[in-house]
Chain A
Amino acid sequence: EAQVTQNPRYLITVTGKKLTVTCSQNMNHEYMSWYRQDPGLGLRQIYYSMNVEVTDKGDVPEGYKVSRKEKRNFPLILESPSPNQTSLYFCASSLLYGNQPQHFGDGTRLSIL
């Protein structure tokens, strides 16, 4: 089954404690992306990757890092989380060209205390 898998689904942590949200897709997609969803703001792109070792900033990259060492994985790293990063995060993937629809994971709800 084609899917995008995120872990963990829920996490409560404290300010400053480094955390990583993993994302994996099994569709051999080149393009992967992270979004955060906040009430009244919709979804906003954090980072994206067009292929292995090719990443770039989206609209709200501050406080986040990503890496793309393998095609299937695109982890989101919060090196020093702060309360304003409390949000619902989605990973998505798609083929690179032709603006193919993006497939979304089920989301990760992060609470930073």
Chain B
Amino acid sequence: AQSVTQPDIHITVSEGASLELRCNYSYGATPYLFWYVQSPGQGLQLLLKYFSGDTLVQGIKGFEAEFKRSQSSFNLRKPSVHWSDAAEYFCAVAGGLTGGGNKLTFGTGTQLKVEL
């Protein structure tokens, strides 16, 4: 069964500093990977996705993520964090193209706090 691990429950960074949020996945085939962000009281917004091809993917709000098959990782990065980036971030993997293949399996989330 597929699974996602986000080892950091909370991360605090200073505004303007760089950010890396870790994500490790377990999936038998080629994974479809996503990062979502959840602001307080809001639903989940898609930041970026990886299906195939270039292993470095660009997303919205200046985020990027790198897929590393050898490490089963899909870490999210941002060169310079803004106070408005404070939110909870979820990594997710989707499986296959049939049946329940659209199901997203989520990590437990990383809460990002930004210090001014």
Contacts and interface: CB of A to CB of B under 8 A. Distances in A.
Interface stretch (A12-20, A62-70, A71-79, A93-101): A93-101
Nearest to B48: A101
Given A90-B44, A97-B97, A101-B46, A41 B108 contact: yes
B44 A104 contact: yes
Nearest to B1: A59
A43 B92 CA distance: 10
A85 interface: no
Interface string B69-111: 0000000000000000000001010101100111110111100
A101 B49 contact: yes
Contact of A45 (B103, B108, B109): B103
Contact of B90 (A4, A42, A92): A42
Given A104-B43, A106-B43, A99 B101 contact: yes
B51 interface: yes
Interface string A11-50: 0000000000000000000010101000011111100101
A96 to B, nearest CB: 7
A105 B90 CA distance: 16
Interface of B: 4, 9, 32, 34, 36, 41-46, 49, 51, 90, 92, 94, 96-97, 100-104, 106-109
21 contacts: A31-B102, A40-B9, A41-B108, A43-B90, A43-B104, A45-B104, A90-B44, A94-B102, A96-B102, A97-B97, A99-B101, A99-B102, A101-B46, A102-B104, A104-B36, A104-B43, A104-B45, A106-B42, A106-B43, A107-B42, A107-B43
